[in-house]
A and B are shown apart, each in its own frame.
Chain A
């Protein structure tokens, strides 16, 4: 087990190095740190002098090592637009995105668990057929269209829910960092539409996954034995069958949280949600390369960490994984 964890972590570090190398190469080739520092109105001579002083004429490898050293100290460069360290800018936008993902995750759990179990237990009922048909449609529906239609129906036509922004927020830790929309009515109202559209991407997948896992378990010998023993149906379904479908579902959920982060770029654009995804697109428009690279590295590390933790946890729960990986 120890060897498995070490190997997995080495791999994670290796991937992080590759991501940082790609990030640095982009910054080095198309970025202009002099412009980031002093803007456009500086004479070429002064520019050259600044370049020299910043060490931008050093060989690529030397600059990359310096970049890594700075990155290890949390310094990923200055954002050209915000005139602040890029990491600070991204961290200040992170809570908004986290709340979106959290809300969507909650919706997915609350909807997919009952529907998945129900469609497995009653595959021929009307509600099950409707759910399965709807989930096929859901897979084919791009998230920005779901979002736009929700806005049009609930925002423009019915005026029930606000269609952009975060609304009234509460300062969570008293230092202004985490502005939460979970604790005011207005903030919650603003959360509903973005969270529902973000959840709609993976909801069909989860319903299908839970359904197929549950159906498989229901066919197994020990369930038949439980029926033969005469246990009440509720106990068989919930305690014997449902508990055993949870393991694969939890693993997929871990990976899907990462995928949801990717889709926040689309959702945040539609709802003008001031999170990391919205900031990323603004950075592209403003050619704010340091900010782009920092986003790449932050989100990349997030993925690597989530994947590694899920893998290690899975290895702990299911020994065949770590034994199969050994050569």
Chain B
């Protein structure tokens, strides 16, 4: 354990992290966001899921710094009388949960397909990659919108709302796996003719062992790079679906559905229900993207060795 910490401290990754102010700042903000989402039930002043504490009479109270605001609700309340700050913390929690879950699912499907296609080659490769290519030629958001529209019709709106978190994970996971499959396949193609794979084959290891224990670890660099960007994408997709009314219900809002419910009130000058969750969402996605850019530059050997 101590050894690996030392190794990490001396690594190029840590070295360039220390020198890059943008990366450090983004990392700090990202950690704060993740802590907020983890600790949402502990730090939120109110529980937005508890109908007893919310009162419709409190609806649309402006933030505390405005003339009509009260110090009870720091960022004001939403259209259902819930404390906006607490609802945002809980919403962030849902967005993070769905984002990570969806990326995990994408990565699992993508790694399976990409590894099999790349290592087996031949007909298996042709069939699997053709499927991935076809899906890849359609924008992922379109695919996600279609799948969720169909799920909503299949399950009915009632049960869709009850199951919305796992369903959204499945929807976004199914919509974006080709990104992983293509990347993994490309790196497997590069790895599989190297001597260590040949050596493993010569000593008689079975195919799955070579694939998962020997080839897969060497493709994980590219997985790491796309994973950061994919988390940002998944969070954005979830927000877009929820905004369209195909995602999280208003009773259990994610950041996207909060923005949607606020949008209906923006013409009457009630801007905070939309703008605060919006800023939250943009900032969250922005820091992930900045970290992803940094990671790509650092881990791309062409750039730093050449």
- A266 touches which one: B134, B244, B274, B282 (CB < 8 A)? B244
Cβ-defined contact, A140 with B243, below 8 A: no
Q: Which of B105-113, B213-221, B261-269 forms contacts with chain A?
A: B261-269
Please name all residues of chain B whose beta carbon is closer than 8 Å to the beta carbon of A265 when the two chains form the complex: 142, 145, 244
Cα separation A112 to B126 with both chains bound (whole Å):
37
Q: Which of B3-11, B51-59, B199-207, B232-240 forms contacts with chain A?
A: B232-240
Which B135-152 residues have a C-beta within 8 angstroms of A?
137-139, 141-142, 145-146, 149-150, 152
Which A292-327 residues have a C-beta within 8 angstroms of B?
292, 296, 299-300, 303-304, 307
Cβ-defined contact, A289 with B153, below 8 A: yes
Please name all residues of chain A whose beta carbon is closer than 8 Å to the beta carbon of B269 when the two chains form the complex: 156
Please name all residues of chain B whose beta carbon is closer than 8 Å to the beta carbon of A299 when the two chains form the complex: 142
Cβ-defined contact, A15 with B266, below 8 A: no
Cβ-defined contact, A148 with B278, below 8 A: yes
Smallest beta-carbon distance A133→chain B, Å: 10
Q: Which of A36-44, A73-81, A103-111, A255-263 forms contacts with chain B?
A: A255-263
**Any chain A CB within 8 A of the CB of B103?**
no
Smallest beta-carbon distance A255→chain B, Å: 8
**Any chain B CB within 8 A of the CB of A26?**
yes
- B266 touches which one: A156, A262, A281, A303 (CB < 8 A)? A156
Cα separation A43 to B163 with both chains bound (whole Å):
34
Please name all residues of chain A whose beta carbon is closer than 8 Å to the beta carbon of B290 when the two chains form the complex: 136
**Any chain B CB within 8 A of the CB of A152?**
yes
Interface size class of B (residues with CB under 8 A): 35 or more
Cβ-defined contact, B266 with A145, below 8 A: no
Please name all residues of chain B whose beta carbon is closer than 8 Å to the beta carbon of A259 when the two chains form the complex: 139
**Any chain B CB within 8 A of the CB of A67?**
no
Interface of A is mostly: helix
Smallest beta-carbon distance B53→chain A, Å: 29
Cβ-defined contact, A145 with B154, below 8 A: no
Number of residue pairs A-B, CB distance < 8 angstroms: 96
Q: Which residues of B contact A (CB under 8 A)?
A: 134, 137-139, 141-142, 145-146, 149-150, 152-154, 232, 236, 239-240, 243-246, 256, 259, 263, 266-267, 269, 271, 274-275, 278, 281-282, 285-286, 289-290, 293
Q: Can you give 25 A-B contacts (C-beta < 8 A)?
A: A30-B150, A30-B154, A136-B293, A137-B282, A139-B289, A140-B232, A140-B286, A142-B240, A142-B243, A142-B256, A142-B285, A144-B239, A144-B243, A144-B263, A148-B263, A148-B274, A152-B275, A262-B142, A263-B139, A266-B240, A269-B243, A280-B149, A281-B245, A300-B138, A303-B137
Q: Which residues of A contact B (CB under 8 A)?
A: 15, 18, 26, 29-30, 136-137, 139-145, 148-149, 151-152, 155-156, 163, 258-259, 261-263, 265-266, 269-270, 280-281, 284-285, 287, 289, 292, 296, 299-300, 303-304, 307
**16 extra A-B contacts, CB within 8 A, seeds A144-B259, A265-B145:** A15-B134, A30-B154, A136-B289, A137-B282, A142-B236, A142-B239, A142-B240, A145-B259, A148-B263, A258-B139, A259-B139, A266-B244, A269-B243, A280-B149, A281-B245, A284-B153
